[in-house]
Amino acid sequence: MPHYKDGHLHKLVNLLDCSQLVLNNNKEQWTAIEKKSSAFDEYLRQKETLCYGISEFDPGFMDNFLNKHEGDVTKIYDEDIRAALRKITIDRKAATLSCGTALRSTQSVRPLLDQIIHFLPSPEEQHPETIKLMGQKFSGLLFKITHNKRKNRNSYIRIYSGSLKTNSSVFNTNQSRVEGPLKLFKPWGEELEPCSQTNEGEIVVATGLVHSITGDTLLQSEQVASEIGENLRGRLNAYGNLGESPLHIKKHISEYPVFSGIDAPEPVFFCSVEPPDTKSTHDFERALQNLCKEDPSLRVRVDNETDQTIIETMGELHMEVVKHKLVSEYGLNVFVGPLQVAYKEILKTPNITQFAKIQEPLDEKRVQWVEMEMFIQHKTDVGKFKLKFDLGPECHFIRPDWQKALSEGCQNALHNGPLIGYPVHNVEITIKNLVASGGKINSALLSACAHKCLMDAFAKAEMTIAEPVMAFEVNHALLLSFSSK
């Protein structure tokens, strides 16, 4: 708890061990509060408030505090308070708070570090279902990426189960690809110590993950990923849910399980950015690729009309951080255009069915052609675009390269809406019928037909403009409670 004197922060009081840290003191050490002092009386009052607060969330503690000890804070053990705080924190009924000022005293950070140990769950407590599913097989989450001075990638991985060894490979379930071999290091601040193996619960830095980005799930092998995926699908079909497991199936990404990781929201601002000169173009493009792998919420695209590089971010501060990294870490004094709001175009028509046909000459006598029927409807949930297929039995199997071409054509159409050229948001597209002149048709023709079909549908549909908004809740009673203390 903070204690003020003459309007300035004077000292900090730790209610869990009856100690205090006096600021602006040469000693700067936590010392025990002397009994029979005004500071001790204030400590008891604040501890009593804490105990009554815990009692609101933990009936067992309330019975111990009020009935067994008759509300006497001098009789309640500090271990009982810590245990109760840990329980309500893990149950997510309340959150513990700590205050300090590392700028004035590094000792004030110690209670916060103690809280991490005392109140936050270990991996075994937080994800028992994951351990049961994975057993001794490796699973981990790539939660951070950095690039060193030589622009080599360092990938920070939290190991949830099993172990990871140097020179081993891993399977990225988000991208359905094998990555490796890996070199492993234990992080000690900015120093990286080579290691041969790391185990469950540890954080390791790995090099050799070329394509993986922040938030990706890493498993031991593709075979393990398939087995776990089948297990999860079986449980989902049998019970309707996956219990407390953070592993789940993201059908729009792959058939493999992924951890509940980092789901970046849609950007709300964008601006153009240009390299300082033409000779820096390669370094500029590489820098943006690195930044996108470090930060999944950062989006980079090229405007089809102006051929400018566009950066999409979460806000003004986010954009400043990106610019600062380009200048300080990559030595690129980039030109950044004015920041603009990332409006979206929304389909107001509930659903629409559209036909399209496109053809081009194959030679002097023959032409190749594609015709399709597309069903477009508005959807309320937000997620990555996934083209769906609902073809009749008379339609042939759609080859993967055709699916990719059709998806690219739709995405190009969605990128520039019919009203003012902003991206079209929250639509679900289903191909109901597809007929082509032959199996060797040019994929570009498929893409062009999908693009035309979708643009024709938007041209006759009712559209509207939407702007990004943020919703938040202010608990007035809680603010009054804090201000009174």
Say which residues have a Cβ less than 8 Å from residue 285's Cβ, sequence separation at least 6: none
Which tokens sit at 134? 């994975």
Could you confirm whether domain 2-120 is CATH 3.40.50.2300? Answer: no
Exposure class string for 52-65: b at 16+ Cβ within 10 A, else e:
eebbebbeebbebb
Whole-number pLDDT of residue 126: 62
Separation in Å, CA 273 to CA 147, 284, 336:
21, 10, 5
What CATH code is assigned to 346-466? Answer: 3.30.230.10
Whole-number pLDDT of residue 253: 43
Regions of the chain short of the pLDDT cut 50: 239-240, 242-244, 249, 251-253, 482, 485
Q: Which tens digit of pLDDT belongs to each residue from 334-346?
A: 999 999 998 889 8
Whole-number pLDDT of residue 399: 81
* Residue written as token pair 């308070």: 81
Whole-number pLDDT of residue 123: 63
What ranges do the domains of the chain cover? 2-120, 126-227, 269-342, 346-466
Parallel, antiparallel or unpaired: strands 203-207 and 153-161: antiparallel
Separation in Å, CA 132 to CA 200, 228, 240:
13, 11, 19
Could you confirm whether domain 269-342 is CATH 3.30.70.870? Answer: yes
Peptide bond into 246 cis (omega under 30): no
Say which residues have a Cβ less than 8 Å from residue 449's Cβ, sequence separation at least 6: 356, 357, 358, 370, 371, 372, 409
- What is the C-alpha separation between 377 and 241, in angstroms, rounded? 28
DSSP string for residues in 212-275? --TT-EEES-HHHHHHHHHHHHHHHHHHSS-TT-SEEE-TTT-SSEEES---PPPP-EEEEEE-
DSSP string for residues in 53-93? HHHTT-HHHHIIIIIISTT-TTTS-HHHHHHHHHHHHHTTS
What CATH code is assigned to 126-227? Answer: 2.40.30.10
* Residue written as token pair 């840290």: 21
Whole-number pLDDT of residue 130: 67
CA of residue 248 relative to chain centroid, distance: 15
